[in-house]
Amino acid sequence: MQNHLTNTTALSDGKIEQIKSGLTHDDEILLSLYGKREKVYPREVHGIFAFLRVLAAIGLLGIFYGLPWLQWDGRQSVLLDLPARKFYIFGLTFWPQDFLYLTFLLMLAALGLFFFTALAGRVWCGYACPQTVWTEVFLWIEHMIEGTRIQKMRLDKSLLTLRKFRIKATKHALWILFAAFTGFTFVSYFTPAKILVDELVNFQLGPWETFWIVFYGFATYGNAGWMREQVCIHMCPYGRFQNAMFDDNTLIVSYDEKRGEPRGPRKPSSDHRRQGLGRQGLGDCINCTLCVQVCPTGIDIRNGLQYECIACSACIDVCNDVMDKMGYPKGLIRYTTQNALQGKQTRIIRPRIIIYGVILTGIISIFIYSLSQRIPAGLDVIRDRNQLYRETAGLIEKCLYTENFEYG
């Protein structure tokens, strides 16, 4: 077997197929670990969930790119001033001794993840994760420059011509420009945006500012332009431990196997619904493979719940379109739960949700309460060590020494 593996690097795709056909199942698994990534060309999709995704992307990116330009009390609304060790978040000023609140925030994030994953699956992955959101922007740029999925695939297969070079160069130039702006925006949370613009225009950026703009920009370009679904599949731990948080009542994107199978193309004359053939003939899946074509992680949702699925619901939108055209009811692929698929009752309110919900609400309440009770000053009383008291004409005088500490 070792020979197979070392040889494959020098073999053509055809030869690999030949070898594969003679392999056992274990060999195949091992071989796939060394396999080259097959580029995913997600097809553009329209529909209600695509609309929600775009809305989420615009909202979240709007916050990220917009906040540094929003002023508050004569300064930048959100500014993490590291040299001065002051962290401004709108009307609040935090000091290093307020790090407790950061702990609260991290606890909230972790518990929020548990709660929402148990309730609605990987909604974070599909709608809000920076990896998903930036990949969508980069795909959108790619779509503008290179065209549709088929056009992109043809372009990538074609020989390098001046035209191909021009198209690719334009795409990468736009990607790099956008990535650089992203890096700039990231740094402007630490150096006020207006000052950073000044420094940039006058070529006076500091070494750390330059490093972080380039680094963050490069990471954006690499992750959203090149790595894409590989970050979700191979790098992100969340997808791997979702099993621990899922149960049979968790909202998942799923193909209705009972309704869809057996799948296959059909003529109008043999359409089971039109001809009233009932369940004898084909199921509702016409095997158009559009659900596979739109998938940003390149999986087939009809194979069941897979750890690669980021629940972006692109397959729901595209399948609903197909069902509409066929005159079938929508929802062959839909948001559902394992229980619903098996014909059982879905229970939204269940012990897991209640426990997560109570803890989450509790921590939010404590967080808000402690934040509202925060007194931005400190007082220490230190008694004078030399003299406990002094008697003066009938009055006791006591020497005390107060240290008065104010922060904010």
Using DSSP bridges, classify how beta strands 86-89 and 92-94 pair: parallel, antiparallel or unpaired. antiparallel
Question: How many Å apart are CA 6 and CA 169, to the nearest integer?
Answer: 35
Is residue 396 at the binding interface for another protein, with CB under 8 A as the rule?
yes
The dihedral built from the CA positions of residue 270, 274, 280 and 285, taken in this order, carries a sign that is: positive
Report the nearest approach of another protein to the CB of residue 319 (Å).
Answer: 52
Is residue 83 at the binding interface for another protein, with CB under 8 A as the rule?
no
| CB nearer another protein, residue 37 or residue 75 | 75
| CB nearer another protein, residue 10 or residue 400 | 400
One residue of 95, 207, 242, 308 binding another protein per CB under 8 A: 95
Is residue 10 at the binding interface for another protein, with CB under 8 A as the rule?
no
Whether 208 and 171 have beta carbons less than 8 Å apart is answered as no
Question: How many Å apart are CA 202 and CA 190, to the nearest integer?
Answer: 19
Report the nearest approach of another protein to the CB of residue 40 (Å).
Answer: 48
Report the nearest approach of another protein to the CB of residue 376 (Å).
Answer: 5
Name the residue among 328, 334, 299, 298 with its Cα closest to residue 316.
Answer: 334
- The mark string for 335-374 relative to another protein (x by CB under 8 A, - otherwise) is ---------------------------------------x
Report the nearest approach of another protein to the CB of residue 396 (Å).
Answer: 5
3-state secondary structure of 76: strand
Whether 41 and 47 have beta carbons less than 8 Å apart is answered as no
Subset of 374-393 contacting another protein (CB under 8 A): 374-381, 383, 388-389, 391
Is residue 78 at the binding interface for another protein, with CB under 8 A as the rule?
no
Whether 27 and 1 have beta carbons less than 8 Å apart is answered as yes
Question: How many Å apart are CA 185 and CA 56, to the nearest integer?
Answer: 19
One residue of 93, 170, 338, 339 binding another protein per CB under 8 A: 93
Alpha helices in 231-345 (DSSP H): 242-245, 257-260, 290-293, 314-326, 338-341
Is residue 398 at the binding interface for another protein, with CB under 8 A as the rule?
yes
| CB nearer another protein, residue 91 or residue 343 | 91
Question: How many Å apart are CA 153 and CA 40, to the nearest integer?
Answer: 10
Report the nearest approach of another protein to the CB of residue 399 (Å).
Answer: 6
One DSSP character per residue, 374-392 reads --SEEEEEEE-SS-S-EEE
Is residue 189 at the binding interface for another protein, with CB under 8 A as the rule?
no
One residue of 68, 88, 190, 235 binding another protein per CB under 8 A: 88
Contact residues toward another protein (CB under 8 A) are: 84, 86, 88, 91-93, 95, 374-381, 383, 388-389, 391, 394-408
